[in-house]
């Protein structure tokens, strides 16, 4: 876990600024200035791996730091530490602004991915899966692979002489406070058996890391504009967009000019009718028809470029009881409140829709099964902490499915896989 740090300029140590885990300097005896909670070395390494999808040590670091460091901006609220002191300073809490990463990307996701691919083109072995719980877990360095793993995850005890059934190699002894002397293999050859010999999440793609990071200010503003009420036309939303980037300004001018020409040539009601046809009347979200269209488009894109795509189904528990006991007006208000939470917690590139009744469906573009699971846990946590007008807690059950993990051929196949897992989760209550 993080530790308290004190900063001090030691006159006997050259006068440079240094940090220590205790107030007193062991060299000059002076007292340092308290500087709050800081990540420990392994936590900082796991955070680097989770942020960039790259190993924290190795010959690739110089190139990665030059390319990806140039498009990062330090988080001001936490000073780049990713942590804040609690009220009395006795403990720490993760910075809500940067979600513990300590910095933000300043460029769009496709540029970040392009720079990461440049690093991997020169150093193919530099890729590594994220370690989501780098503060709350037990990050440790796997020396064999020079990447970070979370030792707090459940493991399988085994005979040291017995080889791994997945890769045939001898298991390694790992150090863990939760399972002293545990044995494990660091292979990832059993994605369908995640509880067996796996220390690393399967198939987490680089886009999963980007999904956890706050968007740049321009993108966040565009998302807020694009989420206006259903009766706002795309042209109205585009008019309210005020980007600062020169390229985005030119794009805005082009789209406004193009849009005005289309409006001048097309019947005036077509745009409104098309938008209403794809919108849910209660929540203002997209409806099942639009969800199905966009899902099939992403499945087709996956076949062409192998970009992952995931589906998340969310079923609200107890909505029928709320309708029966408090009335459908309160039920509709609950649906709208949940829709607002989903929009705030979901990237603008993804498609959030109300599928039917108390079921919501999300198309997660460029996201693997591991990334979808991270998203589900975040929504589950936010829902549990939210306060609704009727005062009752709202919980939900989830079902996820993704390509390429599922091997499904169509978007409907993907929905059926997610629905099967949703029904299993509901029956397991």
What tens digit of pLDDT does each residue of 211-254 get? Answer: 444 445 555 555 555 444 444 566 666 666 666 667 777 777 77
Q: Which of the pair, 238 or 303, is modelled with greater confidence?
A: 303
Q: What pLDDT was estimated at residue 261?
A: 66
Domains and CATH numbers, the chain: 3-38 (no CATH), 231-275 (no CATH), 288-427 (3.30.70.270)
More confident residue, 358 or 249: 358
Is residue 65 very low, low, confident or very high in pLDDT (cuts 50, 70, 90)?
confident
3-state secondary structure the chain: CCEEEEEEECHHHCCCEEEECCCECCCCCCECEEEEEECCHHHHHHHHHHHHCECCCCCCHHHHHHHHHCCEEECCCCCCCCEEECCCCCCEEECCCCCCCCEEECCCHHHHHHHHHHHHHHCHHHECCCCCCCCCCCEEEECCCCEEEECCCCCCCCCCCCECCCCCCECEECCCCCCCCCEECCCCCCCCCCCCCCCCCCCCCHHHHHHCCCCCHHHHHHHHHHCCCCCCCHHHHHHHCCCCCHHHHHHHHHHHHHHHHHHHHCCCCHHHHHHHHCECCCCCCECHHHHHHHHHHHHHHHHHHCCCEEEEEEEECCHHHHHHHHCHHHHHHHHHHHHHHHHHCCCCCCEEEEEECCEEEEEEECCCHHHHHHHHHHHHHHHHHCCCCCCCCCCEEEEEEEECCCCCCCHHHHHHHHHHHHHHHHHCC
When pLDDT is averaged across residues 270-274 and rounded to a whole number, the result is: 55
Q: What does the pLDDT read at residue 305?
A: 84
Q: Which of 20-29, 327-336, 407-416 has the highest mean pLDDT?
A: 327-336
Q: If pLDDT is split at 50, 70 and 90, which confidence band does 166 have?
A: very low
Q: What is the pLDDT of residue 15?
A: 63
pTM strictly above 0.75: no
| Residue 242: predicted pLDDT | 66
Judged against a pLDDT cut of 50, whether residue 9 lies above it is answered with yes
**Mean pLDDT, rounded, for 303-332:** 92
Residue 324 has pLDDT above 50, yes or no: yes
In the chain, the percentage of residues whose pLDDT exceeds 90 is 23
CA distance 262 to 278: 20
Q: Minimum mean pLDDT among 151-155, 199-203, 209-213, 279-283: which range? A: 199-203
pLDDT in tens, 70-112: 888 888 888 888 888 876 777 888 887 888 888 888 877 767 8
Least confident window among 254-263, 279-288, 369-378 = 254-263
- Amino acid 180: pLDDT: 45
- The answer on pLDDT for 51 being more than 80 is yes
pLDDT tens digits along 185-218? 444 333 333 333 323 333 333 344 444 444 455 5
Average pLDDT estimate for 249-271: 65
Higher pLDDT, 237 or 428: 428
């Amino acid at each position: 876990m993080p530790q308290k740090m004190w900063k001090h300029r030691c006159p006997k140590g050259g006068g440079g600024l240094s940090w220590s885990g205790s107030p007193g300097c062991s060299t000059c005896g002076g007292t340092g200035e308290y500087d709050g909670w800081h990540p420990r070395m392994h936590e900082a390494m796991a955070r680097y791996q989770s942020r960039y999808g790259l190993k924290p040590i190795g010959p690739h670091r110089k190139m990665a730091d030059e390319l990806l460091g140039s498009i990062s901006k330090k988080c001001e609220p936490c000073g780049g530490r990713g942590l804040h002191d609690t009220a009395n300073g006795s403990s720490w809490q993760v910075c809500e602004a940067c979600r513990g990463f300590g910095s933000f990307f300043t460029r769009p996701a496709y540029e970040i991915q392009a720079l990461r691919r440049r690093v991997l083109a020169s150093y193919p072995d530099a890729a590594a899966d994220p370690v989501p719980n780098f503060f709350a877990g037990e990050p440790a360095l796997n020396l064999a692979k020079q990447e970070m793993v979370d030792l707090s995850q459940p493991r399988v005890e085994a005979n040291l002489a017995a080889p791994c059934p997945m890769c045939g190699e001898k298991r390694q002894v790992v150090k863990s406070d939760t399972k002293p002397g545990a044995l494990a293999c660091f292979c990832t050859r059993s994605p369908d058996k995640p509880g067996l010999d796996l220390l690393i999440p399967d198939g987490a793609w680089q886009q999963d890391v980007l999904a956890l990071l706050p968007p740049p200010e321009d993108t966040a503003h565009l998302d807020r504009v694009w989420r206006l009420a259903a009766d706002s036309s795309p042209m109205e939303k585009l008019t309210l967009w005020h980007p600062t980037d020169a390229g985005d300004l030119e794009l805005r001018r082009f789209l406004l000019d193009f849009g005005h020409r289309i409006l001048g040539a097309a019947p005036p009601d077509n745009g409104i009718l098309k938008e209403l046809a794809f919108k849910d009347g209660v929540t203002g979200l997209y409806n099942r028809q639009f969800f199905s269209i966009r899902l099939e488009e992403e499945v087709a894109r996956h076949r062409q470029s192998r970009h992952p795509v995931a589906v998340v189904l969310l079923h609200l528990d107890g909505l029928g009881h709320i309708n029966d006991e408090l009335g459908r007006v309160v039920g509709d208000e609950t649906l709208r409140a949940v829709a607002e939470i989903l929009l705030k917690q979901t990237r603008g590139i993804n498609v959030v829709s109300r599928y039917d009744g108390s079921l919501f469906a999300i198309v997660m573009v460029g996201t693997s099964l591991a990334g979808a699971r991270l998203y589900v846990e975040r929504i589950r946590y936010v829902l549990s902490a939210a306060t609704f007008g009727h005062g009752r807690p709202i919980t939900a059950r989830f079902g996820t499915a993704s390509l390429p993990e599922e091997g499904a051929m169509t978007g409907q196949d993907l929905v059926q896989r997610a629905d099967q897992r949703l029904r299993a989760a509901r029956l397991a209550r």
